[in-house]
Structure 1
Amino acid sequence: MLILPSRRQFLTGLGAGAGLAAATGVYAFDVEPMHRLVVTSYAPALPNWDPGLRLRVAVLADFHVCEPFMPFDRVAEIVDATNALKPDLVLLLGDYPAGKIAWRKLPLDQFARMMEDLKAPLGTHAILGNHDWWDDKAVQKARRGPPAVKGLLEARGIPVMENQALRLTKDGRPFWIAGLADQQPFEDVWTSVSYADVPRTLAAVTDSAPVILMAHEPDIFMDVPDRVSLTLAGHTHGGQVRIFGRSPAIRKIYGHDYSYGHVVQDGRHMIVSGGFGMSRIPMRFGVPPEIVLLELGQPNPAIAGA
C-alpha cells in the first residue's frame, strides 16, 4: 500500500532540503574557496631520481588574485603557510590574475612584491599560465608577449621560465628545474596556438641529473618523455567541483584523467595541483585550495604514510 507523506512531513522535508541546499551553497561559494587552505603532501618514488637527493618543494598554482575571491590578505596567508613548511624550493605554476570573475582587479606589482616574501634556500621559480596572457590586453592586441607580470616577478628576483631549464644543487647533488611556455596564450585561438616547446626545453639539460618540469596546463603530459622524473601542472583547479574522486567539469585527454592529483602513465609521473583560485564560476566544492608539498628522495615516513 502506498503511504503518502502528510502535509507537515512534506513541508518539513522541503524545508530540510532547502536548508541543505543553502548550506551547501554557502560552503561552496564562501567557506571552501575563501577560508580553507590545506597542505597536500606527496612522496612519490620517481624514475631517474637520485635516491640520495632529498628535496622539499612547495608548489603554488593559480592564485587568480582579485577582490573579493583572492584578496591580498589571503595571499599573505598562503605565503606564511608556505614559509612555515620550510621548503628547499618554491615553484609557481602560473595564472596570477583572476580574469573575468574579478569584481575588482588587484595590482600585480603588489602581488609580485608578496611573492618576494617566499623563503627557500634554492629560491622561488615561476612559469606563466594562460590567464597571465589573457588578462594582459596589450599582449592580446599585439599578438605577442611577454605579459607584464613576467617582468614584475623578475624584478623581484623570481625567474620566469619559458622553455628554459636551470641546474640547481642540493647537498652537492644536482638536479634540473625546467619550465614550459604557455600552451594557450591567446584567448580567442587557444585551441591552435601553443608556445610550449618540450624538445627545446629539454635540450638545455646537459647531464643525467633528475629533471622536474613545470607546465601550466597538464594536457602536454602526453608529449613529455620519460627523461623527466616529474611533471608539475596546475590550471584545472581540480575541476573546482570534485565529487567521489571525479571532476566532471574537466574533459579527459585521449581517455586520460589529468584533472587532479598524482597521475602515472607509462611509467611517467605528473602531479596536478588544485591550486588556490577560481575562474568562470567563483565556487569550489570537494577540492579546497591547496599548497602542494613534495618530499622527493628518501621519503619522510610521516608523509609517506599519510
Structure 2
Amino acid sequence: MFTRRGFLQTLGGGFASFAALGSYAFAIEPLARLNIARYHLTPSGWTPGLKLRVVALADLHACEPWMSSRRIASICAQANDLGGDITVLLGDYASGMNLVTRYVHSSEWSKALATLKAPLGVHAIMGNHDWWEDRTAQRNGGGETFGHRALADVGIPVHSNRAIRLEKDGHGFWLAGLEDQLALLPGKKWGRRSMTGLDDLDGTLAQVRDNAPVILLAHEPDIFPEVPARVCLTMSGHTHGGQVRFAGLAPVVPSRFGDRYAYGHIVEEDRNLIVSGGLGCSIAPIRFGVPPEIVVVDLG
C-alpha cells in the first residue's frame, strides 16, 4: 500500500536526486571536468606518409567564475602536453552569458592563450560571440573585432577567409580559416534585417594553389554541406555538443540542422567533420553529459 509517508519519502528522494543532478550540471561538470576527445582518421586525399597531430580548443567563453584566465592557462598547459604538431583555436573567446561574477577582458584571455606552443604554430578563427559582443564591429558591419586585435597582439594569427600552406617532414598541407557565418546581428540599430555571415568559402579555397590536403576551420558546423570533397577535414565548435546530452542526443542545438552536426566525428559522402564539445558555456553555466574537452586529431 502506498502510504503518505511512502509518498513523501519518494517525493523527497526525487527532490534530492534533482538537486544532486543540478549541482553536478552547474558546479562539477562545467568547472571540475576536462576530457581529451581523441580521433584518428586518414581521409580520402590525405598524403601518404604525412602524420599530423592537431590539437583544438573551442568555445572558451572567458568569464568568472566559470572560465577565468587562470583556468584558461591551465587548459593551455594540458594542451601543450598533448604533443600536437599544430594547435587551432575554433572561436568564441568572449563570454556568451550574463550569469557571471566578472567578464574576462580580451587582454587577459589572449595572454593566457599565448602560452600555447606547437611546432607548426597556433592558429585561430573567430566565433559568433566574438562578433556579437563587439558593438563597434557590429556598427561597422565588418573589419576587426577586439578578439582579432587581442590575438594579433600576442602573436596568434587569425585566419579570416584565408588559407596558408604549412609543411611537416617534407609534406605540405593547407590550413584554411573561415570568418564567422553568424557575425552580424539583425536589427534596426545596425540597419540589418537578418543575421549576416562574413564567411567566404569559395574565396578561401581559391587561395589553395596545389593538390596538398586541406584542413578547414569553421566555427559553426552548418557550412559542412557546402564544403567540397577537396577539403580533407572540417573542424568546428559552436554547438558545445548541445551543452546538455542524454543518451547521445541533445534536446537543443544551435544549428539549423538540429542534432545532425551537434558533436563528434561526422562522415557524409566521404567528407569528414569533427565538432568539438567546447570548453565553456553560453546562455547558462550548465553542462550535463558533454563535459569540457580538448580535441586531439591524429591524421594519417
Q: Could you list the per-position Cα deviations for residues 69-111 of structure 1 after superposition, in whole angstroms to 9, with x for gaps in the alignment?
A: 1112211221111011121100000000103334321111121
2:31 to 17, 30, 34: 34
Residue 286 of structure 1 is matched in structure 2 by 289
For 1:87-126, what aligned pairs fall within 5 Å after superposition? 87-101=84-98, 102-126=100-124
TM-score by length of 1: 0.92
Cα distance, 1:127 vs structure 2:
0.3
Q: Could you list the per-position Cα deviations for residues 46-86 of structure 1 after superposition, in whole angstroms to 9, with x for gaps in the alignment?
A: 11101311111100000000011111221122111101112
Residue 240 of structure 1 is matched in structure 2 by 243
Residue 180 of structure 1 is matched in structure 2 by 178
CA RMSD between the two structures: 1.5
Q: Could you list the per-position Cα deviations for residues 173-204 of structure 1 after superposition, in whole angstroms to 9, with x for gaps in the alignment?
A: 11111000111112336954111111100011
User: What is the rounded CA distance, in whole Å, between the counterparts of 1:175 and 1:71 in structure 2?
Assistant: 34
| Deviates further, 287-296 or 46-55 | 46-55
Give aligned pairs, total: 294
Whether 1:14 and 2:11 are equivalent positions in the alignment is: yes
| One-letter identity of the residue aligned with 1:44 | L
Structure 2, unpaired ranges of 5+: 187-191
Residue 189 of structure 2 is matched in structure 1 by none
Aligned partner of residue 27 in structure 1, secondary structure: helix
Residue 149 of structure 2 is matched in structure 1 by 151
Distance 1:96 1:256, change over 3 A: closer
User: What is the rounded CA distance, in whole Å, between the counterparts of 1:183 and 1:288 in structure 2?
Assistant: 25
For 1:1-306, what aligned pairs fall within 5 Å after superposition? 4-101=1-98, 102-188=100-186, 192-250=195-253, 253=256, 257-297=260-300
Aligned partner of residue 100 in structure 1, secondary structure: coil
User: Which 4+ stretches in 1 moved above 3 angstroms?
Assistant: 189-192, 251-256
User: What is the rounded CA distance, in whole Å, between the counterparts of 2:125 and 2:33 in structure 1?
Assistant: 25
Q: Could you list the per-position Cα deviations for residues 94-133 of structure 1 after superposition, in whole angstroms to 9, with x for gaps in the alignment?
A: 0001033343211111211111110100000000000110
Identical positions, percent: 49
User: What is the rounded CA distance, in whole Å, between the counterparts of 2:264 and 2:143 in structure 1?
Assistant: 31
| Deviates further, 97-106 or 153-162 | 97-106
Cα distance, 1:14 vs structure 2:
1.2
Distance 1:97 1:251, change over 3 A: closer
Aligned partner of residue 99 in structure 1, secondary structure: coil
Cα distance, 1:10 vs structure 2:
1.4
Aligned partner of residue 270 in structure 1, secondary structure: strand
Distance 1:114 1:224, change over 3 A: same
User: What is the rounded CA distance, in whole Å, between the counterparts of 2:299 and 2:68 in structure 1?
Assistant: 32
